Amino acid sequence: MLYKITFSPTGGTDRIADLLGDYLSKSLKAKTSGINLLVRDPDRRQSLLRETDIAVIAMPVFGGRIPAVAASRLRMIRGNGSRAIVAAVYGNRAYDDSLRELADIAEASGFRVIAAIAAIAEHSIIHEIAQGRPDDEDRSQLARMTEEIAGKLDRNDDSRPSVPGSWPYKVFHGIPLGTYATDDCIFCTSCALECPVGAIPEERPNQPSNGSCISCMRCVAVCPVQARRPDDAVTEVIRHKISPVCVERKEAELFI
């Protein structure tokens, strides 16, 4: 079985995981299953993989780190010696220590990390950065990378790649960015139900997100009438801060 284990608030990380998983499942003729770490309630200690399974573990990068809630939920899964391909997905700024952090968490959870990928998807807040990615060029690159990974699996090569990053990991310095509802809110509660940390009250979904908000933009992505949005002033601060270092197109990297 090939498992896709993801935390993908706005869909970009899922797109990368789907590309990697689809390419690998076809190459290895393996059935696929998914574990969605956005969901708040399940007891993930029941998520047990077998040694013969393969996992694609994909996480977004927030300020050069893996989101703390995603890391905590991944730690609950027992890899039991299954082989893993880890992917850190970032919005064309930098992935900093996130890929090493993800590999370390996976190994501590009992996975054997045999490959690591840094991939690019459209920025979840400043959408003009890496807009439309992963694009055709990304898909071609990821297809070639999965061919290399499939070859390593066929050779039963379980060697751990050298993954870039520092220890201790960089300190997360994300800018707090809550969201609010405009007058277009239809009180459907999609934002409250889909929030991975419960930062929006289900009984009052038109209220601003509370202090537990992780600025993941899940509520913005799932609103059916586009009535949820981040704070405009803070968004401009973020745009001004990161846009100059996001001009040059970054490409996916494979560590195998």
Q: Give the fold, CATH level 3, of 2-168.
A: Rossmann fold (3.40.50)
Note down pLDDT in tens along the chain; length 256 residues. Answer: 999 999 999 999 999 999 999 999 998 889 999 999 999 877 766 678 999 999 999 999 999 999 999 999 999 999 999 999 999 999 999 999 999 999 999 999 999 999 999 999 999 999 999 999 999 999 999 999 999 999 999 999 999 999 999 999 999 887 778 999 999 999 999 999 999 999 999 999 999 999 899 999 999 999 999 999 999 999 999 999 999 999 999 999 999 9
Rounded Cα distance, 142 and 125, in Å: 24
Extents of the domains making up the chain: 2-168, 179-239
**Reported pTM:** 0.95
**106: number of CA atoms within 13 Å, CB side?**
32
Cβ 25 vs Cβ 32: under 8 Å:
yes
What is the DSSP track for 113-149? EEEEEEEE---SSSTTTTTT-S-HHHHHHHHHHHHHH
* CA nearest to 130, candidates 138, 38, 219: 138
| Cα-Cα end-to-end distance for the chain | 21
Rounded Cα distance, 101 and 71, in Å: 9
User: How many residues appear in the chain?
Assistant: 256
Residue showing tokens 């459907």: 188
H/E stretch holding 15 reads helix 12-28
179-239 to CATH, choices 3.30.70.20, 3.40.190.10, 3.40.50.11900, 3.40.50.1820 = 3.30.70.20
